[in-house]
Amino acid sequence: MRKVNEIYRYKTQEYSYDAVNEFNIYPEQIPPWLVEFMPSKGGYLIGNLQLAHMGFRFFSLGNLWSIVSSLATAEQSHAILDLIEAKWAELVADMPFKICYPALNGQEWRIIAGSDPKNTPWSYHNGGS
């Protein structure tokens, strides 16, 4: 949450070696569900979908692979595992570990998945197991 609060104060359109907002994240891109989802202890690595567009969903495979392959620091690894433990009910619950959280749904699902029936929320191709 400390980093999310920091991002809310970022200036946009900064381009230089000393830019604080090096990925040019717009605070409006931070989804409302993130504040509810983020535990007081823990965190995760977000995805860079394209220039100035971050993917705030929790992608389990990428985050876990960053730990296994030592791409994440020890502190980052512990934060990822703390988040998984704190959000166990949402990420695991009664089924195998979810690929991403939250799944796409509604209009967002129709646009991105092309209304493909195999990509319904929580199916394999849309945040499933």
> What is the per-residue pLDDT across 72-85, written as a single tens digit (0 to 9) for each?
999 999 999 999 99
pLDDT for residue 46 is more than 90: no
H or E stretch at 64: helix 60-68
d(CA 56, CA 129): 19
C-alpha–C-alpha distance, residues 125 and 128, integer Å: 6
Q: Is the pLDDT of residue 96 over 90?
A: no
pLDDT of 64 reads 95
3-state helix, strand, coil in the chain (%, to 5): 40, 10, 50
DSSP β-bridge partners for residue 54: 48
